[in-house]
């Protein structure tokens, strides 16, 4: 069965959750009108990837870092508070599946720690999965806490069985295998990395996993940063490309099927066929006949691991 996919790399409204979601509703309608049934948004899209953490000096720009982080925290997504309901309603209205990167905050616990998460919303509006990035990369650890294995799951969608790892998680062989072992047809990698090396990795994953691979980053310039952003003029120049995007779709043989979409704030469209993925695994199935379970084994703790919680004894 062939499905049309839309890979979005328009810039969000940085540090503004509600404005970003409103913009996304227009994009969902646009892509659905073009016949897309699977829509993928970039890493930490709501309310924007914290690119500033790669520019500020650790310990040297504490006041500005604190101001930016405060806005990020206030505009983070709390699933329990229903912040994604407009997107869930839009998915149901247009009968589409959404994969969306978010800055997540969990009000059930500290209400302060943020997570880099990716959520999958089904065409009935149901939240199918939420995966928190297992290990934030380098200075990202100043922004996000570490996730757990509860979201290392592949879920059924009309386009095929879909799993996701965020950015450099795609370099974690055991995390990849945990998804391969669940008969994954589509691997989604929302990322900030738009480099050629990242593209090479996605091509390898498509071939290794016998799956469609979707990579997306945010195409954004300094001029896209709103004037409400603390220290905007100190951190960015209007004409610079903060990220070039390079959304791409790779087929299960490792060939590029669409993209990369470079320096274009738009939507990359392509077609994916779950049967192509299943046929690709006939000769190489790394979690099946190529797995050698008599030699290798992998145990995954998929239980939810909450942060330390005070218990009144």
Q: Give pLDDT, residue 309.
A: 54
Does residue 10 sit in helix, strand or coil?
A: coil
- At residue 31, what are phi and psi to the nearest 5 degrees? -70, -40
Ranking 56-60, 98-102, 156-160, 247-251 by mean pLDDT, the lowest is 56-60
Does residue 67 sit in helix, strand or coil?
A: helix
Closest among 29, 47, 40, 55 to 5, alpha carbons compared: 40
Cα distance between residue 311 and residue 265, in whole Å: 49
304, pLDDT greater than 90: no
Query: Mean of the pLDDT values across residues 51-78?
Result: 88
Q: Give pLDDT, residue 1.
A: 77
Quick one: pLDDT band at residue 63, thresholds 50, 70, 90? confident
Residue at token pair 């499905």 = 3
Determine contact, residues 152/175, Cβ cutoff 8 Å. yes
Query: E strands of 87-126, at which residues?
Result: 97-105, 114-121
pLDDT digits (tens, 9 = 90+) for 133-143: 999 999 888 89
Q: Rg (Cα) of the chain, in Å, rounded?
A: 19
Ordered by start, the domain boundaries in the chain are: 2-280
Q: Helix 17-33 vs helix 85-94: angle between axes, to the nearest 10 degrees?
A: 10
Determine contact, residues 219/244, Cβ cutoff 8 Å. yes
59, pLDDT greater than 80: no
311, pLDDT greater than 70: no
Give whole-number Cα distances, 109 to 245, 254, 307, in Å: 34, 42, 7
Q: Give pLDDT, residue 112.
A: 85
Give me the architecture of the 2-280 domain, per CATH.
4-Layer Sandwich (3.60)
Quick one: pLDDT band at residue 109, thresholds 50, 70, 90? confident
Mean pLDDT score of the chain = 93
Determine contact, residues 228/201, Cβ cutoff 8 Å. no
Residue at token pair 């806490």 = 145
pLDDT digits (tens, 9 = 90+) for 119-155: 999 999 999 999 999 999 998 888 999 999 999 999 9
Cα distance between residue 61 and residue 32, in whole Å: 43
Determine contact, residues 122/92, Cβ cutoff 8 Å. no
Q: Give pLDDT, residue 58.
A: 67
The active-site residue, picked from 4, 104, 133, 140, is: 133
For residue 230, give both structure tokens: 């603390």
pLDDT digits (tens, 9 = 90+) for 217-251: 999 999 999 999 999 999 999 999 999 999 999 99
pLDDT digits (tens, 9 = 90+) for 256-298: 999 999 999 999 999 999 999 999 999 998 988 988 888 988 8
Cα distance between residue 253 and residue 272, in whole Å: 12
- 160's enclosing H/E stretch is strand 160-164
pTM above 0.75, yes or no: yes
The active-site residue, picked from 4, 130, 140, 167, is: 167
The percentage of the chain sitting over the pLDDT mark of 70, rounded to a whole number, equals 97
Ranking 8-22, 28-42, 98-112, 219-233 by mean pLDDT, the lowest is 98-112
> Annotated catalytic, 167?
yes
Determine contact, residues 47/78, Cβ cutoff 8 Å. no
Query: Mean of the pLDDT values across residues 195-214?
Result: 96
The active-site residue, picked from 43, 104, 169, 208, is: 43
Closest among 272, 267, 268 to 251, alpha carbons compared: 272
28, pLDDT greater than 90: yes
pLDDT digits (tens, 9 = 90+) for 167-204: 999 999 999 999 999 999 999 999 999 999 999 999 99
306, pLDDT greater than 80: no
């Amino acid at each position: 069965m062939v499905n049309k996919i839309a890979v979005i790399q328009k810039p969000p409204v940085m540090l503004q959750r509600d404005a970003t979601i409103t913009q996304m509703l227009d994009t969902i309608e646009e892509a659905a009108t073009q016949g897309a049934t699977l829509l993928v948004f970039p890493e930490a899209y709501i309310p924007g990837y914290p690119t500033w953490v790669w520019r500020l000096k650790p310990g040297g720009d504490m006041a500005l870092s604190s101001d930016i982080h405060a806005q990020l925290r206030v505009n983070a997504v709390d699933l329990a508070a229903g912040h994604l309901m407009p997107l869930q309603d839009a998915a149901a209205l247009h009968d589409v599946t959404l994969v969306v990167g978010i800055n997540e905050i969990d009000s059930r616990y500290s209400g302060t720690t943020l997570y880099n998460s990716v959520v999958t919303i089904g065409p009935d509006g149901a939240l199918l999965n939420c995966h928190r990035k297992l290990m934030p990369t380098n200075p990202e650890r100043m922004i996000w806490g570490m996730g757990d294995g509860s979201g290392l799951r592949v879920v059924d969608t009309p386009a095929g069985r879909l799993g996701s790892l965020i950015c450099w998680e795609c370099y974690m062989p055991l995390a990849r295998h945990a998804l391969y072992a669940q008969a994954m047809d589509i691997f989604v990698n929302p990322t900030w990395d738009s480099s050629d090396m990242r593209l090479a990795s996605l091509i390898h994953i498509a071939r290794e996993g016998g799956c469609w691979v979707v990579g997306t980053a945010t195409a954004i310039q300094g001029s896209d940063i709103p004037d409400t952003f603390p220290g905007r003029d100190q951190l960015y120049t209007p004409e610079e490309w903060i990220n070039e995007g390079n959304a791409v779709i790779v087929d299960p043989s490792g060939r590029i099927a669409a993209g990369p979409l470079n320096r274009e704030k738009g939507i990359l469209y392509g077609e994916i066929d779950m049967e192509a993925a299943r046929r690709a695994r006939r000769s190489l199935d790394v979690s099946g006949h190529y797995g050698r379970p008599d030699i290798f084994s992998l145990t995954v703790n998929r239980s939810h691991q909450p942060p330390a919680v005070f218990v009144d004894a």
